[in-house]
């Protein structure tokens, strides 16, 4: 058995797909110590530069003093603290949904939605570029899984037309984590309403960054405060919000069903209450400090201007995720390594995270980056185009 594993690992390495872990020392920042060296980093999902914000550090200290470290039990025993309760109410107000429910991770949140609402005789329809957590949730639900072409609503409509399933769920990323493009949520809502289907929107990379006051992708355009009943919204709290965890926002009946039947909710220890306490401050900063999002917009525009006419294709993203398409696995690794030699950390992303033949550098921006740091990256890439 070990011999078989060794052969499989060697094959993965030969294909340029072998992953290794690096060790960072210190807080998230645009300048990070990784494996003992300091780099200018473009690899974090800390979009609003909150992961080491002094206000959040102070809130965490107060939360630690009040609640200790561990929750000690699941939410359904005695692990549901006042901090968890207040955060759920604050998130419901912020996203303008009737109720929200906290989860330890976005992976667990998506698992709970799919498995609690659907079963063997139901059907799930998923964008082909969805995050792995949505795909795994669909498989675990035992519902029939049908994947539609990326952002192709005509293909989705034809699938919805053909299904005999009574209970249907369409699931999509709001901002796709590897391409940085956005789902047409308004059109998806209309389509799901026509066919009596649930719509699960995973806004891991939009919450805090997009929409009015950072309320998320739903609020990029006018969105009704009385949400349509078939919409289920999931967002994570470890990216733009700077801490950890996730939440599901939906109608009261959906949230109560997740409490009763969501296995990843009921059968795990609640997240540390000090994190929920910290997130209350994070939510206030997201709503009040619009300069962070404004800075991101400036950085995105500067980066895209600087990467014009490179041999590698910059995908059409207006978000903090800016993928540079290299295509070949080894070339993507070589380009990433060449940047590291020059003190810049940008990860190479390869299959199966992205489709075969679409290996890339995934450049992610933070409000803490400066225009000068953006220029340093673009000038270095322009220099490298003649050497690789």
Catalytically annotated residues: 177, 205, 239
Cβ(150)–Cβ(127) under 8 Å? Answer: yes
The per-residue b/e assignment along 133-157, b for 16 or more CB within 10 angstroms, e otherwise, is bbbebbeebebbbbbbebbebebbe
Q: Is 357 annotated as a binding residue?
A: no
Q: Which region holds residue 221: left if phi is over 0, alpha if psi is between -120 and 50, else beta?
A: beta
Q: Is 236 annotated as a binding residue?
A: yes
Q: Is 336 annotated as a binding residue?
A: no
Q: Is 370 annotated as a binding residue?
A: no
Q: Is 214 annotated as a binding residue?
A: no
348-349/359-364 β-pairing = antiparallel
Q: Is 205 annotated as a binding residue?
A: yes
Cβ(330)–Cβ(305) under 8 Å? Answer: no
99-103/344-345 β-pairing = unpaired
211 DSSP assignment? S
The Cα–Cα gap between 266 and 186 comes to 32
Instruction: Kindly state the tokens that stand for 252.
Output: 């009261």
Q: Which region holds residue 309: left if phi is over 0, alpha if psi is between -120 and 50, else beta?
A: left
Helix (H) / strand (E) containing 148: strand 144-148
**Binding region for substrate:** 19, 131, 353
**Binding region for pyridoxal 5'-phosphate:** 106-107, 177, 205, 236
**Binding region:** 19, 106-107, 131, 177, 205, 236, 353
């Amino acid at each position: 058995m070990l011999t078989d594993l060794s052969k499989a690992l060697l094959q993965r390495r030969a294909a340029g797909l072998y992953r290794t872990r690096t060790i960072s020392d210190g807080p998230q920042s645009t300048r990070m110590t990784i494996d003992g060296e300091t780099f200018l980093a473009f690899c974090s999902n800390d979009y609003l530069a909150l992961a080491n914000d002094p206000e959040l550090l102070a809130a965490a200290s107060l939360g630690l003093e009040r609640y200790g470290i561990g929750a000690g039990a699941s939410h359904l025993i005695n692990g549901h603290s006042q901090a968890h309760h207040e955060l759920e109410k604050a998130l419901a107000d912020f996203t303008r949904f009737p109720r929200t429910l906290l989860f330890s991770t976005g992976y667990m949140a998506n698992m709970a939605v799919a498995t609690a609402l659907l079963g063997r005789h139901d059907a799930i329809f998923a964008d082909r570029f969805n995050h792995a957590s949505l795909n795994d949730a669909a498989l675990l639900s035992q519902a029939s899984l049908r994947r539609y072409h990326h952002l192709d609503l005509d293909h989705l409509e034809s699938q919805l037309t053909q299904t005999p399933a009574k209970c249907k769920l369409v699931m999509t990323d709001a901002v796709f984590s590897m391409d940085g493009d956005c789902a047409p949520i308004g059109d998806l809502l209309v389509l799901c309403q026509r066919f009596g289907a649930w719509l699960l929107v995973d806004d891991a990379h939009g919450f805090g960054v997009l929409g009015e006051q950072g309320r998320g992708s739903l609020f990029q355009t006018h969105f009704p405060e009385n949400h349509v009943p078939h919409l289920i919204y999931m967002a994570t709290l470890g990216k733009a919000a700077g801490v950890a965890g996730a939440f599901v926002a939906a109608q009261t009946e959906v949230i109560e069903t997740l409490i009763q039947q969501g296995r990843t909710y009921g059968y795990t220890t609640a997240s540390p209450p000090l994190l929920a306490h910290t997130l209350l401050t994070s939510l206030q900063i997201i709503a009040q400090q619009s300069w962070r999002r404004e800075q991101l917009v400036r950085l995105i525009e500067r980066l895209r201007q600087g990467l014009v006419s490179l041999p590698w294709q910059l995908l059409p993203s207006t978000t903090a995720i800016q993928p540079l398409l290299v295509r070949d696995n080894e070339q993507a690794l070589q380009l990433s390594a060449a940047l590291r030699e020059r003190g810049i950390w940008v990860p190479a992303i390869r299959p199966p995270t992205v489709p075969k033949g679409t290996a890339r550098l995934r450049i992610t921006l933070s409000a803490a980056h400066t225009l000068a740091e953006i220029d340093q990256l673009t000038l270095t890439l322009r220099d490298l185009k003649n050497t690789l």
